[in-house]
Structure 1
Amino acid sequence: MGASENKQAIKTMFAELAKGNAQAFLGAMTDDVRFTLIGTTKYSRVFNGKQELLEKLLGPLNAELVDGITITPDNLIADGDYVAMQAHGKAMGKNGKPYNNTYCQVFKFTNGKICEVTEYLDTELVTTVFGR
């Protein structure tokens, strides 16, 4: 796949996720995906593989949100195996605090699937809403 196909894969993945199809997110990734969430928040670390990503980030984070999170891509830049996405998210914490973050995610593709993700975000907001 080329840069334009990789870019379209990201658009499709987030469009499906917005419809409630969470499987579209994980389904676009290799089983051994490496997902890095930057910073020093309670969620910041490197997650190795879909299972760890689901058990240690996506599941716990979703449990703290009222109706999950909607992430809307604002800009996509693709070059070779990489796609960089600027996006904004909208969610509500079960504690009543809004969690409307801004993201830059960098995706690396191999054989048509995402093999690496690095996510940059407002880490202070993560700590404010979800604690340490």
Structure 2
Amino acid sequence: MSENNKTILEEANAAIAEGDYEGFLSFCADDTEWKFVGDKTLKGKEAVRQWMVTEYVEPPLNIVANLIAEGDFVTALGDLTIKDEDGKATHYSYCDVWRFRGGKMVELRAFVIKTDQDETSSAA
């Protein structure tokens, strides 16, 4: 089961990289809940959709360093670069803990820290 969940997350991330946000959302349960630790919680697929519209002006650059799968959970460690509407890039390091149910991503606990470019490039 855990390897299947890992594959699902890889396919979902590939959809994001292509700018196919609806494709990504097809991997999420309708009642998905995303908790950005220390920030906000998004409840339901529509809330995630609206967040993506504002956050992902263009597809983010996501470099996954490790994917660790066990049971219903997949943990992703990596670096992310997101551009705003002015084209300014912001760099982050993250640890996402995904919980799956019935082959769908049902919960995310995201630990995201803003970094400067030098930190992300030297950590990779």
TM-score, normalization: structure 2?
0.82
Cα distance per residue 1:97-130 (max 9 Å; x no partner): 32121111000000000110111111588xxxxx
Q: Give the distance between the partners of 1:76 and 1:6, measured in 2 at CA.
A: 10
Contact 1:7/1:76, CA 8 A, preserved across alignment: yes
Q: What pairs up with 1:1-132 in 2 under 5 angstroms?
A: 2-39=1-38, 44-55=39-50, 57-62=51-56, 65=57, 67-95=58-86, 97-122=88-113
Amino acid at match of 1:117: L
Bigger share in strand: 2
Gaps of 5+ in 2: 117-124
Q: Give the distance between the partners of 1:75 and 1:4, measured in 2 at CA.
A: 14
Gaps of 5+ in 1: 126-132
Q: Give the distance between the partners of 2:60 and 2:79, measured in 1 at CA.
A: 10
SS of aligned partner of 2:83:
coil
Question: Cα distance, 1:20 vs. partner?
Answer: 2.2
SS of aligned partner of 1:91:
strand
RMSD: 1.8
Identity of aligned residues (%): 24
Question: Across the two proteins, how many residue pairs are aligned to each other?
Answer: 116
Q: Give the distance between the partners of 1:123 and 1:36, measured in 2 at CA.
A: 17
Q: Give the distance between the partners of 1:3 and 1:24, measured in 2 at CA.
A: 21
Q: Give the distance between the partners of 2:19 and 2:115, measured in 1 at CA.
A: 27
Question: Cα distance, 1:33 vs. partner?
Answer: 0.3
